[in-house]
Amino acid sequence: MNRVEEAVSSFRQGSNCAQAILATYGTSYGIDRQLALRLAMGLGGGMGRGGEVCGAVSGAVLTIGLKTSRESDTQSREVKEETYHKVREFFEKFKALHGSVTCRGILGCDLGTEEGQKEAREKDLFSKVCTGFVADAARILEELLSA
């Protein structure tokens, strides 16, 4: 199973979108899987189901930070610039596929409201649509991390 499939499998088994990405990729950059799951817990559904930045995107941003920095260089201007560049590149690629990086924008409903959550459940968006967002975030990460 490749890492894209692993992230999707993790999501399907109950991880939120951010957990699925960070737990799959973070281990390659020195973070324990259980810690990754804990760190990403509140990022699902666009930050606590707030409909903001998609959790798969947030998990990818955290992964990019792990990839581009080491403990000794977290204050380095050069490393920050490289990280910011990769994050913007990730955003551009994700937006090109989905038009937005927010849950609200890509799902078409607001998870920050009970009505939006109900609509998402009724339309089965989490399994029908979010799985694809996790896969796309993972594919983009694969491309950016290997560059």
Q: pLDDT for 44-68, tens place per residue? A: 999 999 999 999 999 999 999 999 9
Question: What pLDDT score was predicted for residue 147?
Answer: 73
- Contact between 28 and 146 under an 8 Å Cβ cutoff? The reply is no
Question: What pLDDT score was predicted for residue 76?
Answer: 81
Q: Considering the chain, what is the average pLDDT of its residues?
A: 94
**DSSP codes of every residue in 4-47:** HHHHHHHHHTT--HHHHHHHHHGGGGT--HHHHHHHHGGGTTTT
Beta bridge partners of 102: 53
- Tell if the pTM clears 0.85, that is, is over it: yes
H or E stretch at 117: helix 114-122
